[in-house]
Amino acid sequence: MRVVGVDPGSVVAGFGVVDGTAQHPVLVAAGTIRVGSVKRGPARLNEIYRRLIEVIDHYRPQAMSLERSFVAVNAQSAFRLGEARAVAMLAAAERNLEFFEYTPAEVKMAVASHGRADKGQVKAMVRRALGLGAGFALEDDSADALALAVCHLIRARFDAAARGESEPACGRN
């Protein structure tokens, strides 16, 4: 199964594409979409959307994994994050990807076996799961996106087992 994880942001959005299974995830691609502060409002969202569509079209994932919204201290930041999430959801819908959301605690639990793991621990476990050496440059935003993709592979495995299936299948939203 090929999954794209997206760490939405209104200035920098991370993406990570992972293929394989929970036991053998393989890195396909990771990166960031940087729209900077030059573009504002709808133009910025359009750029994020357009670049996500390019990632999806190039790597052809079957599913998208996105972090479920959380409550932010700053209302404006929460609105901007919501807009970026909506753009990612639209890109998934536009390309008929199955769509999955996970809370930060679910991602941390799946990847680091601890629901309160810090960013450093999650990043280290993503490196370990994907066999990435210390020399592989991994930005925080793309590490978070990869964690979302790996989380989905792990959750899909457990969901399949709960249904009595041997192979994970997309289908839970």
| Token couple for 112 | 């680091």
pLDDT at position 172: 38
User: Which residues make Cβ contacts (< 8 Å) with residue 57, sequence separation at least 6?
Assistant: 95
Q: Tell me the three-class secondary structure of 7-73, residue by residue.
A: ECCCCEEEEEEEEECCCCEEEEEEEEEECCCCCCHHHHHHHHHHHHHHHHHHHCCCEEEEECCCCCC
The catalytic residue among 19, 47, 67, 144 is: 67
Bridging pattern class, strands 25-34 and 63-67:
unpaired
The catalytic residue among 19, 47, 98, 141 is: 141
For residue 141, indicate whether it is catalytic: yes
CA pair distance 45, 94, nearest whole angstrom: 15
pLDDT at position 161: 60
Per-residue pLDDT of the chain (173 residues; tens, 9 = 90+): 999 999 998 889 999 999 999 999 999 999 999 987 767 789 999 999 999 999 999 999 999 999 987 666 788 888 888 999 999 999 999 999 999 999 999 999 999 998 889 989 999 999 999 999 888 899 999 999 999 999 999 988 766 565 666 655 444 34
| Token couple for 60 | 């052809």
pLDDT at position 134: 82
3-state secondary structure at position 76: helix
- The arrangement of secondary structure in 2-162, i.e. its CATH architecture, is 2-Layer Sandwich (3.30)
| Token couple for 6 | 């997206």
CA pair distance 163, 130, nearest whole angstrom: 27
Distances (CA, A) of 158 to 41, 74, 91, 154: 40, 35, 27, 7
pLDDT at position 167: 55
pLDDT at position 171: 42
Residue 16 in contact with residue 149, Cβ under 8 Å? yes
The catalytic residue among 7, 47, 98, 144 is: 7
Show me where the domains of the chain are located.
2-162
